[in-house]
Amino acid sequence: MKTQILFVDDDTLILQGLNRMLRPMRDTWEMTFVDNGFEALAQMAKKPFDVVVSDMRMQEMSGVELLDKIKKEYPQAVRIILSGQSEKEDILKSVKSAHQYLSKPCDPGALKTTINRAVALRDLLRNGRLRRIISGMGSLPSIPSLYIEVVEQLNLPECSIRRVGETIANDLGMTAKILQLVNSAFFGIPRHVSDTTQAVSFLGLDTVKALILSIGIFSKFEQSASFHFEIEPLLRHSIKTGAIAKEMAIKENFSKHLADEAFMAGVLHDVGKLVLAANMPEQYDEILERAGTQKIPHVEAEQQVLGVTHSAVGAYLMGLWGMPNTTVETIAFHHSPMDYPADSLIPLTIVHVADGLEHYGNQSASPETPIPNIDYRYLDKLGLTERMPLWHKIGVQLNLEGKNDE
Ligand SMILES: [Fe+2]
Ligand SMILES: [Fe+2]
């Protein structure tokens, strides 16, 4: 079936231009062009659209209003907003309803890639109900105390970029959202940012303040929702996995850029657990209970209860938010790296090993002792088994340092 795409712009010349530019895609895309939000909603009511690409500034109903309505009524649709650089104020308002931003004038290549990537993500997650839930998420829940700390810091007369960035870095939900924004096409930052302090500095304190204090891009995690799930241990695991991944990448002579990517993917690798715990607490409790009583791996319990794992869920949301491919793929395959076609050391390999090492903790057993959750057949295939003693040492060392900090 063709991908159904709805384009909305009140400038008919732009619509005509898009129509002409995208004509070669007609074999795979069925495109509808409308010049106002009301007509767009009328079209949405007639048939399901996979993707909506809307202009930001329109008469009568703005792009933000339109996407807000679509998010509520048709959450499964991928929502992309097109805007000019001068529309910064407006774009900030759209961060809760748009999945991705493209800047005008729109480059056909970027538009095609963005749409195709978003559509391809559906292969990761075939469960329609889950897809609807995840597509409707504007933010990821944060640890309440860290959320309050960021708000308090932003309200200080002498607010420090570094402290705000560091506090955000301690939280998974806030990290994911701030990195999504800073790396979106809208801000036009040429290189990829994977450090939260740098992100705050690029966005500027005023923008960060507006996003957090008035627009409310972050939300607090409600602990009562789930009996067994605890956000803090997940967070500690995520941050430590990121740190181990980065150290491994540095020792393996990765470029700074790739080492930063390994770090970011390490921090975000289990983001799907947070998504599941926040959105389906009862089923998530059942997963944790099953894993405990039947002594089966967590991912197996997820498969049994939901028919999908946190790897796919996390990768789906991060892909929808426009995170880089490497990050999305690393998240998707961190428990099954063999399924990803690669024949050399990549961030996925590093995160897979770092995750296992973090779970293993600082047990100083001999480096020859196999570590559960690490796929040694995969390391063999890549000819990397001999690197394990060094990686093991890094893991033990960083796990010990983590212990001292606590
Ligand atoms: Fe995981
Ligand atoms: Fe993990």
Read off the pLDDT of residues 75-119 as tens digits, 9 standing for 90 and up. Answer: 989 999 988 766 677 777 888 888 988 888 778 888 898 898 888
Cα separation, 172 vs 88, in Å, equals 26
Ligand 2 centroid–CA 245 distance in Å is 12
Cα separation, 186 vs 87, in Å, equals 10
Q: What parts of the chain have a pLDDT lower than 70?
A: 85-87, 224-225, 364-365, 367, 402-406
Sequence ranges of the domains in the chain: 3-123, 144-220, 227-405
Ligand 2 centroid–CA 379 distance in Å is 18
Ligand 2 centroid–CA 357 distance in Å is 10
Homologous superfamily assigned to 3-123: Response regulator (3.40.50.2300)
Ligand 2 centroid–CA 389 distance in Å is 20
Ligand 1 centroid–CA 272 distance in Å is 8
Ligand 2 centroid–CA 238 distance in Å is 7
Ligand 2 centroid–CA 80 distance in Å is 30
Q: Identify the pLDDT of residue 301.
A: 95
Do residues 159 and 205 make contact, with C-beta atoms less than 8 angstroms apart? yes
Ligand 2 centroid–CA 353 distance in Å is 10
Q: What would the 3-class secondary structure string for 273-326 be? A: HHHHHHHCHHHHHHHHHHHHHCCCCHHHHHHHHHCCCHHHHHHHHHHHCCCCHH
Ligand 1 centroid–CA 28 distance in Å is 34
Alpha helices in 156-280 (DSSP H): 161-169, 172-182, 196-203, 205-209, 231-251, 256-268, 271-279
Q: Which ligand gives the minimal distance to the CA of 333?
A: 1
Ligand 1 centroid–CA 270 distance in Å is 5
Handedness of CA 100, 104, 110, 115 (dihedral sign): positive
Ligand 1 centroid–CA 271 distance in Å is 8
Ligand 2 centroid–CA 133 distance in Å is 22
Do residues 64 and 56 make contact, with C-beta atoms less than 8 angstroms apart? yes
Closest by Cα among 333, 386, 350, 356 to 258: 350
| Beta pairing partners, 8 | 34, 54
Ligand 1 centroid–CA 343 distance in Å is 22
The structure tokens 């089923």 sit at 283
DSSP state of 123: G
Q: Identify the pLDDT of residue 405.
A: 45
Handedness of CA 169, 175, 178, 179 (dihedral sign): positive
State the architecture of 227-405 in CATH terms: Orthogonal Bundle (1.10)
Closest by Cα among 131, 68, 105 to 316: 131
Q: Identify the pLDDT of residue 300.
A: 94
* Overall pTM > 0.75: yes
Ligand 2 centroid–CA 270 distance in Å is 5
**Interval 105-160: pLDDT, tens:** 778 888 898 898 888 887 788 788 888 888 888 788 888 888 889 999 998 988 89
Residue 383 to residues 94, 345, 371, 377, 380, Cα–Cα distance (Å): 47, 9, 18, 10, 5
